Structure formats: structure tokens, C-alpha cells
């Protein structure tokens, strides 16, 4: 089995026609037909149903093309990374929970480097995936939050995964809602008032434990909740349903900010947790670009908690997760 065979099969699947596929590949139809037939004989499966109107994938063929695409994509990435002149394109990737200030910091880093020599990626994702990406070195840095609700469990996971955690900023909880929300004119919001409205939360994956949530309390504490997978969906549904979410306050200046408000959540004896910290995890020693990103994170962190470069930055001790 060769990459050429895989690519030919992908073109046939895309065009639905041996003739059209052969034309786009600049080869004869008999050559393409023989290549596909040879691939089917080698794999022992029928990839395509042939009709007088063209070809279409069998169920086994669909599975095959799915994996073939992955193989071809990885090959293309390998070719892209090594340019044939002895130069290696560097890769810098960040995984994060959903924070606008992380995107801001990432953009500043990208602007500081020659994009032709780097492959940059930022992945807004779930808490488990953020940890997994850094543990498996898919991403150099992961950004997430800790509170009294999840701190002990997550610190244990960091230690078990060989990850170092460092705090960026401590901050109180805020309520994030649309500017036309019934409580949007408040200067401070009580928990008992806001939970009468639907909370919009991020999906963390099937069977994900409560401490992996991006919210400050367990799901059972909210009588009405809606789960989403991305920030755009959250903002749309928040407006349509008069919903809300909790946040760090680090959303000012984000895209669409003028349509929303951030209001402090009042501290009270009824709230088991009223503050949080946002930090980052990494596995090995940070690269030069990784250190640059961390500096930009501190700059972009919530303004009231900003610590200028050169000041002492508190570090969390992960050697004893019970602290």
C-alpha cells in the first residue's frame, strides 16, 4: 500500500467518478481503475460500489478513506515541517480553557515571530483535553483555572502526569451576561438571584468528572443549565435565553464585548467558593517562545491582578497536592 494509492482513492471518493478523478489526477482511467482494484485486493475489502452513474463508497470504504485521510494529512505535515534544505519549522501550540485573554497573549506572540518558520496553533478545548495535550506534548502550555472546588483533584492529576503548575492570577468570580439581561443594571449580583436564570456551560466530554468543569460549582447546583462546545454558541444562547455564565472578569476587549456585561458576584456565607485562580501547566522546561507566551499571559491577565514583568510571580507547589 502506497501514499499514491491512498491519494487516488481519496480523489475517487471526492469526485464520485473514475473518469473525473482520472482527469483531475492527469492519468488515464484504466491506470486509475487498476490502482483502485489493486488497493482493494491488497486490503481485502471493496472500497467502492460501481454503477453506470459513477461510484460511491461502501461502508468499509468510508472507514478506509477516514483513516487514509489521517495518514495523508500527517505526511503533508511532515513534508511541511522539513523543508528539504536542512531547516526545521518550529512548532508552538497552546491548549486552553475558554479565555479571551489567552487568545490575546497568543496573538502577541505570533506577531513577534516569523510565521514562515513556525507552525502556530491555539486550541480552545475541554479541561481533560488541555491536560492531555500538555501531558502528551501536543501543546507546550495549557491554561486552566483552579478553585477550592477542583484544586486538590487537579493538582493530583498534574503530579501524576509530570506537569508543573504555576499561577498567573487570583481573581474573584464575575457574572457574564448580555447587556439586556434583567439583572444587567446591577452593580453586584447575588448568587440566589442569578441561578433563577439558565447557566450556559462548556461541555467537558462524556463521563467527565465534576472537577473537570469550567464552572465554579457542581452541575447539581444549577437548576437550569445548557451545555455548549464553543464560545460563539455560548454567547448566542446567552443572549437568546437571558442566560449567564461565571467568569474571571478577563473578557473586556473580547470580540463582541459591547453586547455583554461583567458584574461581580457577591460574596456570601451561602457560597462555598467565591474566588479562583488562573494558571498554566507545562511538562518540560519552557522554550524561548514558551517563555515569551507566559510573559504575554501575565500582561493580558485581568487588569486588577496584573503583575508587571520582573515582579515576583507566585508559584504553586505541586510536590504535595494536599497543600
pLDDT of residue 218 exceeding 50 = yes
Evaluate whether 246 touches 237 at the Cβ level (below 8 Å): no
Calpha distance 70→296 (Å, rounded) = 34
Question: Does the residue 256 lie in any domain?
Answer: yes
Band the pLDDT of 86: cuts 50, 70, 90. low
Position 118 scores a pLDDT of 78
Tell me which of 15, 46, 81 is where a domain ends: 81
pLDDT above 90 (res 88): no
Which pLDDT band holds residue 288 (cuts at 50, 70, 90)?
Answer: very high
Q: Tell me, what's the pLDDT at 109?
A: 93
Write the DSSP string, 252-270: TTSTTGGGEEEEEBPP-TT
Where are any strands of DSSP class E within the chain? 48-51, 54-57, 90-96, 118-124, 141-146, 164-172, 174-178, 199-202, 225-228, 244-247, 260-264, 275-282
**Long-range pairs for 287-290: beta carbons < 8 A, 24 or more residues apart:** 287/92, 287/140, 289/90, 289/92, 289/109, 289/113, 289/118, 290/92, 290/140, 290/141
Average pLDDT, the chain: 80
C-alpha cell at 269: 456565607
Residue written as cell 460501481?
50
- Boundary-marking domain end, from 22, 55, 81: 81
Of 44-58, 118-132, 219-233, the least confident: 219-233
Q: Would you say residue 220 has pLDDT above 90?
A: no
Q: What CATH number has the domain bearing residue 211?
A: 3.40.190.10
More reliable by pLDDT, 196 or 273: 196
pLDDT class for 73, splitting at 50, 70, 90?
Answer: confident
Last residue of a domain, one of 46, 64, 81: 81
For residue 323, tell me if it sits in a domain: no
Q: Is the pLDDT of residue 252 over 80?
A: no
Segment 290-297 shows an average pLDDT of 94
Number of domains in the chain: 3
The whole-number pLDDT of residue 186 equals: 93
Q: Which residue has better confidence, 254 or 162?
A: 162
What is the CATH classification number for the domain harbouring 48? Answer: 1.10.10.10
Q: Are 151 and 183 within one domain? A: no
Chain position carrying cell 487516488: 8
pLDDT digits (tens, 9 = 90+) for 181-216: 999 999 999 888 988 998 888 776 665 545 555 566
Who wins on pLDDT, 216 or 305? 216
Any domain includes 270:
no
Residues 106 and 136 in one domain: yes
Let me know: does 198 contact 224? Beta carbons within 8 Å. yes
| Model pLDDT, residue 76 | 73
Domain span at residue 44 reads 3-81
Least confident of 8-12, 203-207, 231-235, 296-300: 203-207
Contacts of 191 (CB under 8 A, 6+ apart): 265, 266, 268, 270, 271
C-alpha cell at 126: 475541554
Shared domain check, 130 and 195? no
Strand partners, 44: none
Q: Looking at the DSSP assignment, which residues form a beta bridge with residue 260?
A: 178
Q: Which residue has the higher pLDDT, 306 or 204?
A: 204
68 neighbors 2 (Cβ within 8 angstroms): no
16-69 residue pLDDT tens:
888 888 888 888 888 989 999 999 999 999 999 888 888 889 889 888 988 888
Tell me which residue has cell 467568569: 247
Q: pLDDT confidence of 113, banded at 50, 70, 90?
A: confident
Amino acid at each position: 500500500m502506497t501514499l499514491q494509492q491512498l491519494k487516488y482513492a481519496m480523489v475517487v471518493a471526492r469526485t464520485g467518478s473514475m473518469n473525473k478523478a482520472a482527469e483531475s489526477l492527469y492519468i488515464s482511467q484504466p491506470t486509475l481503475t487498476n490502482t483502485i482494484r489493486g488497493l482493494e485486493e491488497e486490503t481485502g475489502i471493496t472500497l467502492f460500489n460501481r454503477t453506470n452513474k459513477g461510484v460511491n463508497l461502501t461502508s468499509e470504504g468510508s472507514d478506509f478513506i477516514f483513516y487514509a485521510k489521517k495518514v495523508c494529512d500527517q505526511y503533508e505535515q511532515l513534508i511541511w515541517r522539513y523543508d528539504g534544505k536542512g531547516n526545521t519549522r518550529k512548532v508552538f501550540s497552546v491548549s486552553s480553557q475558554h479565555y479571551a485573554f489567552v487568545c490575546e497573549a497568543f496573538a502577541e506572540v505570533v506577531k513577534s515571530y516569523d510565521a514562515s518558520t513556525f507552525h502556530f496553533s491555539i486550541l480552545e478545548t475541554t479541561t481533560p483535553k488541555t491536560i492531555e495535550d500538555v501531558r502528551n506534548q501536543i501543546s507546550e502550555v495549557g491554561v486552566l483555572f483552579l478553585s477550592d472546588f477542583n484544586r486538590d483533584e487537579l493538582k493530583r492529576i498534574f503530579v501524576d502526569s509530570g506537569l508543573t503548575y504555576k499561577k498567573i492570577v487570583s481573581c474573584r468570580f464575575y457574572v457574564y451576561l448580555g447587556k439586556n439581561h434583567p439583572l444587567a443594571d446591577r452593580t453586584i449580583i447575588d448568587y440566589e438571584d442569578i441561578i433563577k436564570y439558565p447557566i450556559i456551560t462548556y461541555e467537558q466530554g462524556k463521563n467527565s468528572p465534576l472537577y473537570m468543569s469550567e464552572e465554579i460549582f457542581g452541575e447539581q447546583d444549577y437548576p437550569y443549565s445548557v451545555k455548549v462546545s464553543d464560545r460563539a454558541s455560548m454567547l448566542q444562547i446567552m443572549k437568546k435565553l437571558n442566560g449567564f455564565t461565571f467568569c474571571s472578569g478577563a473578557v473586556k476587549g473580547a470580540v463582541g464585548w459591547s453586547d455583554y456585561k461583567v458584574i461581580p458576584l457577591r460574596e456570601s456565607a451561602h457560597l462555598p467558593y467565591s474566588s479562583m485562580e488562573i494558571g498554566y501547566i507545562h511538562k518540560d522546561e519552557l522554550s524561548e517562545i514558551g517563555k515569551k507566551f507566559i510573559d504575554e499571559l501575565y500582561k493580558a491577565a485581568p487588569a486588577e491582578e496584573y503583575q508587571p514583568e520582573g515582579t515576583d510571580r507566585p508559584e504553586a507547589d505541586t510536590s504535595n497536592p494536599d497543600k
